[in-house]
Structure 1
Amino acid sequence: MSSVASASDETVRVPIVAVVGRPNVGKSTLVNRIVGRRQAIVEDVPGVTRDRVSYEVTWSGRRFTIVDTGGWQPGAGGLSARVTAQAELAVAAADLVLFVVDATVGITETDAAVAKLLRRGDKPVLLVANKVDSAAGELDTGELWSLGLGQPYTVSALHGRGSGDLLDAVITALPSSGAGGEPETAPDAPRRVAIVGRPNVGKSSLLNRLAGEERALVDAVSGTTRDPVDAIVRIGDRRWRVVDTAGLRRRMRDAVGAEFYAGLRTDQAIRDAEAAVVLLDAAEPITEQDVRIVQKVIDAGRALVLAFNKWDAVDADRRLALAREIETELGHVGWAPRLNISARTGRGVEKLAAALETALAGWEQRVPTARLNAWLSELVAARPHPVRGGRQPRPLFATQASTRPPRIVLFTSGELEPTYMRFLERRLRETFGFPGTPIDLSVRARQPRTRRRSRGQR
């Protein structure tokens, strides 16, 4: 899906390291230790991680991508089987595999089954004995040699013990350039897009539709996605890095455990993105949480596209009701491009590229100062600020301070009322467009001059 580089701009591929093992052996804790921050969600119950999730790492000047996976359980059924399939896909795409076992438990039947599969493969494997918190614990890892994967590297992912030695071993075992990673430098750099919304609105289905594979797990049970899952896809003529995020079901202050940390990751994914696609279930009424998620994107200052999914399940009566709901609940974001899609059938998904391009163009739009002030002078002359308390503040000058999103500063003779500010923003959009982007409109009011006191008053 990436563009082909010519010999003159040849790029080095970033190698991929997959972290695998049965559930609850500390894979995500180890990933957090390697990444250097609490990135993957960790909770003291098995099965928290489900999709394969990638993070960029640099160690001793060498870059690589580390992929956290869900618990590998050969022979499992249901959702566990699909989690296992994601782990197997991660191994297939990797240049190096870290097989993590719990040194305090010893070798289990699942460990032995996974080791057998890894021995049959053609990928180099490092055996990682986790939860070794002291030198004494190393004496209990001798049996791990029987897995047939060579020397076990003893670590305590929780406390950091042995992690540096493990990373040195990773760098030594990595190939000079990866087989499947993204280029370290690419002339066609992908734009960053986050898919956000309530649980079970179809975010993972949309990512899978765009990627052309089951990149993220989809299940009828809400909350399947917990860590952000990304993929490089081509929509239209451009490459995009699309991130599927955990569904936000309630306010952050009411969330607990894995749901709380999933919410934090979603917030970070929005901040890391350039644009956000807020996915809504067209077959259900727009909820307060939908409106709250839209506001999250606005507060983060990101370009915005509204996509109404499951359009294939919407009848004529629901379409009329939805139109009224959009006007009532989302009228304040009438500037955002809207799409009606079906991630399941693919209906309308091809229009997503044009909507994103429109939103990003508005996000990066700049209006020359002379043109902005000509507009402001004409507008204020036709519709001056109302007189309040015997005073009438006036906008004097305007300038666009920055883009991404557009930030416009008004220099005025006094504070402007919120209603007048909304009027100015509405007229600003009518004249200059700014589609698909919030506008940061701020006021710098001129301070009244203080009279100098006479000598007799000093």
Structure 2
Amino acid sequence: MADTPDIEEFDAAPDEDLASRVAAIDEQDAAQRAEALRSGLEDYDLEEEDLSLLRAHGFEDEDEVDEGAPPVLAIVGRPNVGKSTLVNRILGRREAVVEDVPGVTRDRVSYSAFWGGRKITLVDTGGWDIDVNGMASRIADQAEIAIDLADAVLFVVDSTTGPTATDEHVVRMLRRSKKPVILVANKVDDERGELQAAELWSLGLGEPHPVSAMHGRGVADLLDVALETLPEVSAIDQKREEGGPRRVALVGRPNVGKSSLLNKLVGSERVLVSDLAGTTRDPVDELVELGGRQWRFVDTAGIRKRAKQSTGADFYAALRTQTAIERAEVALVLLESNARLSEQDVRIIKTVTEAGKALVIVFNKWDLMDEDRRWQLEREIEQDLAHVSWAPRVNLSAMTGWHTDRIVRAMTTSLESWDTRISTGRLNAFLGELVAANPHPLRGGKQPRILFGTQASNRPPRFVLFTTGFLDPGYRRYIARRLRETFGFEGTPIEISMRIREKRKRK
């Protein structure tokens, strides 16, 4: 395992009764305190996005139904046609990596964007390399994953080269997807370029929309068309149907027992099991009834390496596994209890937490453990998994079925935490008590203050703090720890972001 870099933590004074103090504050008093803090924000320069957040998650709206996820717009095309440049143009900042070399973007990356008063999610894609064997059928696999998770697609073509064989491969895949497609003719800098763009009618995807991602020409008109095409709320990245089966991803390195566990839970040989690592290539969906309710399990291919370091079938298997994680609500990460934790195990867990999914860590093959290995495993957990000490652990044997019945309780705990929303009043009461006992250290003679806090969303819980200055990472981790101690959040990542605002200058 690679050494973990030293990270400075906030040295807090003991405060063992924080949770009890917060619990003793009644809801009405908590709401009044928060209302006073919210009023104080009027003295600060707030952006429109701040006001929208406060309106959406203020006191009067806390019981309203979630408005749904913003629509997802995937940007696809062969390498070096300007997809990332277009993303940067839409975002208005250099966010996506751009280089005049094909294939710089290898993984799908999501960004939040605003246009016409609406929020949309952009998905930049890449990595469309034909492998050395010329297996052109694999060329659109990554795009297919992005399209499957999108409400509409921007298909970017280089107007200066015209349609290519690769473009035609992608067109066939787009037609199979039955998703709305907007054809984008990029690198159109003048009227001559518009004549070249007209050649793209031959692709059979309708009108090509000429743009210059580099210079911004035509991008506003393109976005207007995209908004007309996209639904108000994503039909793909939507909240689960109440009462429907929760979605569970089984992930881990090859041969850790994912398929064996799924077969044991299903009660039949649903998935091929072999001692040969890598038997599972594509995710396999299975409805399983456990604990009196249905769950939708997805058995995934074992993740051998980082997706961008894999090649051929392994590369696309890793991408499909990433998709399974993104589509899931909770991930069961299987680890081998009788083998040393690897860097790859830690990376898989990081993939789950960065995707914002509920997490359960499952140590399989417990029947192969001895006392020496058990002692070593506890040391490895303390060293390598301390950053996810909040995740429930289940020790089991998929082969014998021992303790597999404990999975439901662990998944339920993690999902309840993942779903949790704290009222604005209760959150600000917590912040007030926490800061009073352990204020942020002075930095450069100034002490940043927390003006107001709100939970912007759940699944996973995301908190936004309005502050007068930058909060040290160690202090933010301290807030996260105390949030867990006070409100639970066992089994879910939580995110804390800041909005640093200055006091409005009086005229």
Pair 1:301-2:347 in alignment: no
CA RMSD of aligned residues (A): 3.0
Indicate which of 382, 396, 406 corresponds to 2:461: 406
Q: CA 1:445–1:307 in 2, change beyond 3 Å: closer, same or farther?
A: same
Any idea what the Cα deviations from partners look like across 1:71-120, whole Å, max 9, x if unmatched? xxxxxxxxxxxxxxxxxxxxxxxxxxxxxxxxxxxxxxxxxxxxxxxxxx
CA contact (8 A) 1:188 1:239 kept: no
Match of 1:217?
272
Q: Is the aligned partner of 1:322 residue 2:377?
A: yes
Question: 1:175 matched to which residue of 2?
Answer: none
Alignment of 1:162-241 (within 5 A): 188-241=243-296
Amino acid at match of 1:286: L
Per the alignment, residue 277 of structure 1 pairs with: 332
Corresponding position of 1:10: none
SS, match of residue 358 in structure 1: helix
Say yes or no: does 1:391 pair with 2:446: yes
TM-score by length of 1: 0.59
Query: Which secondary structure state, in structure 2, belongs to the residue aligned with residue 261 of structure 1?
Result: helix
Closer/same/farther in 2, CA of residues 237 and 414 from structure 1, 3 Å limit: same
Match of 2:368 among 313, 316, 334: 313
Aligned to 2:398: 343
What are the equivalent positions in structure 2 for 1:140-179 lying under 5 Å apart? none
Does 2:432 correspond to 1:377? yes
- Give me the whole-angstrom Cα distance separating, in 2, the residues matched to 1:382 and 1:188: 42
Query: What per-residue deviation string (whole Å, max 9, x for no partner) do you get for residues 273-299 of structure 1?
Result: 010000000000111110000010001
Letter in structure 1 aligned against 2:292? D
Aligned residues: 287
Q: Is 1:415 matched up with 2:470?
A: yes
Q: List, as ranges, runs of 4+ consecutive aligned residues in structure 1 with deviation greater than 6 Å.
A: 42-46
Give the partner amino acid of 2:261.
L
- Is 1:264 the counterpart of 2:264? The answer is no
Q: Measure the CA separation in 1 of the matches of 2:242 and 2:424.
A: 32
Q: Which ranges of structure 2 fall in alignment gaps of 5 or more residues?
A: 1-129, 138-143, 145-168, 177-239
Aligned to 1:289: 344
Q: What do residues 159-180 of structure 1 show as CA deviations (whole Å, max 9, x unaligned)? A: 859x99xxxxxxxxxxxxxxxx
What is the letter of the counterpart of residue 300 of structure 2? T
Q: Distance in 2 between matches of 1:412 and 1:301?
A: 24
Deviations, residues 14-65 of structure 1 (Å, cap 9, x unaligned)? xxxxxxxxxxxxxxxxxxxxxxxxxxxx99799x9xxxxxx9xxxxxxxxxx
Compared CA separation, residues 187 and 301, structure 1 to 2 (3 A): closer
CA drift at 1:447: 2.8
Higher relative contact order (CA 8 A, sep 6+): 2
Change (3 A) 1:186 1:368: closer
Q: Does the aligned pair in 2 maintain the 1:196–1:276 contact within 8 Å? A: yes
Q: Deviations over 1:110-153 (max 9, x none)?
A: xxxxxxxxxxxxxxxxxxxxxxxxxxxxxxxxxxxxxxxxxxxx
Whose Rg is larger?
1
2:423 is the alignment partner of 1:368: yes
- Give TM-score, length-normalised by structure 2: 0.53
Instruction: State how far apart, in whole Å, the 1-side matches of 2:241 and 2:361 are.
Output: 29
1:248 matches 2:299? no
Conserved 8 A contact 1:399-1:409? yes
Which 5+ residue runs of structure 1 have no aligned equivalent?
1-41, 49-54, 56-156, 165-184, 453-458
1:243-298 alpha-carbon deviations (Å, 9 max, x no partner): 00010111112100000000000000000001000000000011111000001000
Q: What does the per-residue CA deviation read over 1:380-403, in whole Å, with 9 as the maximum and x for residues that have no partner?
A: 011000001111001121111111
* Partner Cα separation in structure 2 for residue 230 and residue 307 of structure 1: 19
